């Protein structure tokens, strides 16, 4: 009699984890609803796309797709070093900030190690921490802002391996000043590493980001080409930090994880700062329009330093979830914060004129549907 195969022997940790992803993608929702969204305003992508120079670089790179990529991403690291005034040895390239967060957690967090973050902050970081058996310790926001003082106070108490802090913040879109961020960096306790996630920094006002200090072993700065540069699908992020920490990524990273086509596209994007400035202007125009649309419907916009606007629906999370669901039924994909009291809000990415015209048209109907 044939014996049924036993199958793989998962670790105890793996068995304890839920099979989930931090975000349900719009494609998944489109498959479930049986049709595409008419406006994609929930993932904080740049609908304005990459520059013509990037598209040209992609076309050129397509002729070389038979080659493996440079595992050191040397040309891109060199260019980023010049751009930021740091040595290439202080830069690591990864599959977006999400990939880099995963590598960093793998490097530093073992089962039972503590990690400090804000309650309601970027959930993909939490996903990586729990995936390696780390223990998350959360502190509340201060109003609609992450609380650097509370994060440092908790770090002094818990002595965590990692402290996660995003500036500007997702999901609220708020930002702290350069001085506040520098104070936090200066107060990181020995033995802890501050992850400063600056995914939206190109959208923030001047004076939001301290100078890079690659001699400081207690902070790592993460940035991306996924937001303002309009390259979310290319999956290119980078981290800047002390050379010993950056070198350690070579122990665990996927050395061929960044395709040649993505490396060349990112290099072209970095070298087209004029286009980036044009996109920032378009983002700011779109944010003003979203704010106006929200106000016309009784919703209050939080001041945004990102490429999205968080709109306060003025009720509780159940109501906001109904608004998100109703907007989806009407063809507009948006998201919302996960944790009270921020889940009173919805989050709307900067869109094209057509996207926002549709949002303005269906929002009153969605709000009415949500009141039922």
pLDDT digits (tens, 9 = 90+) for 47-79: 999 999 999 999 999 999 999 999 999 999 999
- On whether the CB atoms of residues 166 and 146 are closer than 8 A, the answer is yes
pLDDT-derived band at 3 (thresholds 50, 70, 90) equals confident
Give the residue from 271, 290, 322 where a domain finishes.
Answer: 271
User: Of 277, 302, 273, 276, whose CA–CA distance to 287 is shortest?
Assistant: 302
Give the residue from 243, 271, 299 where a domain finishes.
Answer: 271
pLDDT average, residue stretch 83-96: 98
- Entry pTM: 0.95
- Taking each helix axis from N to C end, the angle separating 273-296 and 260-270, rounded to the nearest 10 degrees, works out to 80
Give the residue from 217, 243, 271 where a domain finishes.
Answer: 271
pLDDT-derived band at 290 (thresholds 50, 70, 90) equals very high
Regarding whether 286 and 245 lie in a shared domain, the answer is no
pLDDT average, residue stretch 170-198: 97
pLDDT-derived band at 20 (thresholds 50, 70, 90) equals confident
169 in a structural domain: yes
Alpha carbon 184 to its chain centroid, in Å, reads: 20
Cα 343 to Cα 324: distance, rounded to the nearest angstrom: 11
- On whether the CB atoms of residues 47 and 352 are closer than 8 A, the answer is yes
Average pLDDT of every residue of the chain: 96
Cα 26 to Cα 40: distance, rounded to the nearest angstrom: 8
Count of structural domains within the chain:
2
Regarding whether 114 and 254 lie in a shared domain, the answer is yes
Residues spanned by the domain of 95: 52-271
- Quote the pLDDT of residue 36: 95
In this model, does residue 4 exceed pLDDT 90? no
- Looking up residue 324, the CATH number of its domain turns out to be 3.90.1150.10
Regarding whether 354 and 225 lie in a shared domain, the answer is no
Whose structure tokens read 């998201």? 335
SS3 132: coil
In this model, does residue 18 exceed pLDDT 90? no
Regarding whether 120 and 230 lie in a shared domain, the answer is yes
Regarding whether 224 and 142 lie in a shared domain, the answer is yes
Structure tokens at 173: 């879109």
Q: Give, in degrees to the nearest 5, the angle at Cα 135 between 130 and 136.
A: 85
pLDDT-derived band at 31 (thresholds 50, 70, 90) equals very high
- DSSP string for residues in 130-159: HHTT-EEEEE--BTTB--HHHHHHHHHHH-
- Quote the pLDDT of residue 372: 79
Cα 154 to Cα 306: distance, rounded to the nearest angstrom: 27
Phi and psi angles of residue 112, each rounded to the nearest 5 degrees, phi first:
95, -15
In this model, does residue 2 exceed pLDDT 80? no
Measure Cα distances from 367 to 270, 321, 344 in Å: 41, 11, 13
174 in a structural domain: yes
DSSP 91: E
- Quote the pLDDT of residue 1: 58
Is residue 254 within a helix (H) or strand (E), and if so which, with residue range?
A: none
Whose structure tokens read 């790592």? 220
Regarding whether 233 and 157 lie in a shared domain, the answer is yes
pLDDT digits (tens, 9 = 90+) for 119-139: 999 999 999 999 999 999 999
Which range among 14-23, 34-43, 135-144 shows the weakest confidence by mean pLDDT? 14-23
- Quote the pLDDT of residue 354: 98
């Amino acid at each position: 009699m044939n014996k049924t195969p036993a199958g793989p022997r998962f670790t105890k940790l793996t068995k304890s984890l839920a099979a989930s992803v931090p975000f349900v993608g719009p494609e998944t929702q489109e498959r479930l609803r049986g049709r595409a969204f008419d406006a994609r305003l929930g993932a904080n992508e740049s609908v304005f796309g990459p520059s013509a120079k990037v598209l040209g670089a992609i076309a050129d790179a397509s002729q070389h797709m038979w080659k493996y990529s440079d595992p050191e991403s040397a040309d891109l690291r060199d260019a980023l070093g010049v751009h930021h005034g740091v040595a290439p040895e202080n830069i690591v390239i990864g599959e977006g900030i999400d990939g880099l967060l995963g590598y960093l957690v793998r490097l530093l967090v073992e089962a039972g190690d503590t990690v400090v973050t804000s309650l309601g902050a970027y959930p993909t970081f939490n996903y990586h921490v729990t995936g390696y058996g780390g223990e998350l310790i959360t502190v509340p926001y201060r109003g609609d802002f992450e609380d650097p003082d509370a994060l440092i106070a908790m770090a002094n108490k818990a002595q965590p391996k990692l402290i996660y802090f995003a500036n500007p913040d997702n999901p609220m879109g708020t930002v702290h000043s350069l001085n506040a961020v520098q104070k936090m960096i200066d107060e990181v306790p020995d033995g802890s590493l501050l992850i400063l996630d600056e995914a939206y920094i190109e959208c923030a006002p001047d004076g939001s980001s301290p100078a890079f200090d690659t001699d400081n072993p207690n902070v790592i700065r993460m940035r991306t080409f996924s937001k303002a540069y309009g390259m979310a699908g290319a999956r290119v992020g980078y981290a800047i930090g002390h050379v010993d920490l950056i070198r350690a990524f070579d122990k665990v990273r996927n050395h061929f994880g960044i395709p040649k086509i993505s490396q060349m596209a990112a290099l072209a994007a970095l070298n087209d700062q004029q286009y980036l400035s044009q996109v920032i202007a378009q983002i700011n125009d779109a944010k003003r329009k979203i704010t106006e649309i929200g106000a016309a419907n009784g919703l209050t916009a939080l001041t945004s330093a990102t490429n999205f606007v968080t709109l306060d629906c003025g009720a509780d999370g159940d109501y906001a979830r109904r608004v998100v669901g109703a907007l989806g039924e009407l063809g507009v994909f948006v998201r919302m914060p996960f944790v009270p009291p921020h889940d009173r809000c919805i989050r709307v990415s900067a869109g094209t004129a057509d996207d926002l015209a549709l949002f303005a048209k269906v929002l009153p109907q969605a709000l009415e549907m949500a009141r039922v």
